[in-house]
Amino acid sequence: QGIKTRDQVVDDAKTVGMAFSQKDISDVDLINYLSTCDIFKFKDNGELIASVYLKRNTYYKKVDYLFVSRVEEIKAVEIYSLWVNSKFRRKGIARMLLFKALMTIRKEYNYGNDFVVSLHLNEADKYMNISFALYYALNFRKGAYVKHGPDDLKYNFEFIHKLHNPIDVI
């Protein structure tokens, strides 16, 4: 179902935001932020069950071949928020929603099979241990400390192969 009103977006986003941050954000700032995301939700009778906010991006990798350097573009999808209502956790909803969202992006934007999925775990998030367990179970196996978010390696994607197992990073 398409989003019909600003209130639909703001109310759901604030519900999700309460789990991740204590900061209050204005409706205008929230709408501006959300306009950069692809938002996927499960709702039942108006109750928000789960949501995922994804951002499409392009990463850049410097490729040296013989005496020629070029920049290769890599399609990326960044996971900014994956949330499940506490009444519905441990039922596989997060995994299913993330899978369906990524498959939709792949189809709608013609990404094919060749794109990168990245994410950022925030140490201030009280559910980071749960997030880490989910993403590790989903086979996210490269990690590094970053300052800002998933796109910190956007212009240096060649370093992705030098990243470590997230358990070693922690």
DSSP-derived secondary structure for 25-45: --HHHHHHHHTTSEEEEEEET
List strand residue ranges (DSSP E) for the chain, in order. Answer: 38-44, 47-65, 68-84, 116-119
Cα(77)–Cα(102) distance, integer angstroms: 8
Its domain, for residue 84, covers: 6-169
What CATH number corresponds to the domain at position 30? Answer: 3.40.630.30
Cα(47)–Cα(56) distance, integer angstroms: 27
Indicate whether 1 belongs to any domain: no
Least confident window among 4-13, 61-70, 101-110, 112-121: 4-13
Residue 81 pLDDT level (bands cut at 50, 70, 90): confident
- Is residue 10 within 8 Å of residue 27, measured between CB atoms? yes
Specify the pTM: 0.74
Of 112, 123, 111, 167, nearest in space to 142 by CA: 167
Cα(54)–Cα(125) distance, integer angstroms: 18
Indicate whether 48 belongs to any domain: yes
Across 21-31, average pLDDT: 65
At residue 1, the pLDDT reads 46
In the three-class reduction of DSSP (H, G, I as helix; E, B as strand; rest coil), residue 3 is classed as: coil
At residue 161, the pLDDT reads 66
At residue 103, the pLDDT reads 92
Which of 65 and 106 is assigned the larger pLDDT? 106
Spatial neighbors of 109 by CB under 8 A, at least 6 apart, are 56
Question: Which range is most confident: 40-44, 95-99, 163-167?
Answer: 95-99
Considering its fold, how many domains does the chain have in total? 1
